[in-house]
Amino acid sequence: MIHATAQIDPSARIADSVSIGAYSVIGADVVIGEGTTIGPHVVIEGPTTIGRDNRISQFASIGGPPQDKKFKGERTELVIGDRNLIREFVTINRGTGDGGGVTRIGNDNWLLAYVHVAHDCQIGNNVVFSNYSALAGHAEIGDWTILSGFSGVHQFCKVGAHAFIGMGCLVGSDVPPFVMMANETRGRPRGINSEGLKRRGFDTARIAAIKRAYRTLYMAGLPLAEAREQLLAQAEGSEDVRQMLDFLDRSERALAR
């Protein structure tokens, strides 16, 4: 049931009826339950616990460390229930120390090709993740939810049970149970990244200057050439506004407005 080329860490606990394909790698602190099938070229890192009768396709990457700069190598886990289908190139990360420590996936879920589940996500049962859908860290997905292809859920957002997220829809807020979500317009500018600027040490005056420039460019209703003239005056007192102007001058495509 285990191919001769598979690499299994001695500490891994694998049930007798588990099947593991060629060149798959099972790391330390991995537990795999009865009847689970693992295809070729799969990587499973621990600490990870996988239940019964799961099907994991080739090139999936399960239980890797979180993609979070705050992660310092602390012990965290991934817990996967029973009867889940995990298709090609799916990536599922373990939790973070300050985010609860556990990424958890329930039972009877379908994670189709190229799905990504980030650290500390909590997923219920009977959820369908269509191709290329993704969850950022700490997202919560209720039972029987469907995420259509190329959809995404922002970090810390919650999606209630039986919700439907339409194709390409980017969820940036909580979605109540039973609600359908779909795109109506393409993405557009929605303010400056003030929180990120604060974290990088920008003081109040710098952020205020950038906000003023944003309002000039996006909210004043000015033609681009006229907005640029006003930005030119504002840039005399702000290197950050000057940087915005330099970007405008280098831009070769239509500016998002």
DSSP three-state, residue 123? strand
Spatial CA neighbour of 99 closest among 115, 78, 113, 127: 78
pLDDT digits (tens, 9 = 90+) for 42-100: 999 999 999 999 999 999 999 999 999 999 999 999 999 999 999 999 999 999 999 99
Percent of the chain with pLDDT over 70: 98
CB proximity list for 131: less than 8 A, separation 6 or greater: 112, 113, 114, 115, 149, 150
Interatomic CA distance for residues 140 and 211, integer angstroms: 33
* Chain segment 104-146, per-residue pLDDT in tens: 999 999 999 999 999 999 999 999 999 999 999 999 999 999 9
Q: Which residues are catalytic?
A: 119-120, 137
Average model confidence (pLDDT) for the chain? 94
Does 236 have pLDDT greater than 90?
A: yes
Look at residue 247 in the predicted model and tell me its pLDDT.
87
Place of tokens 């990360």: 93
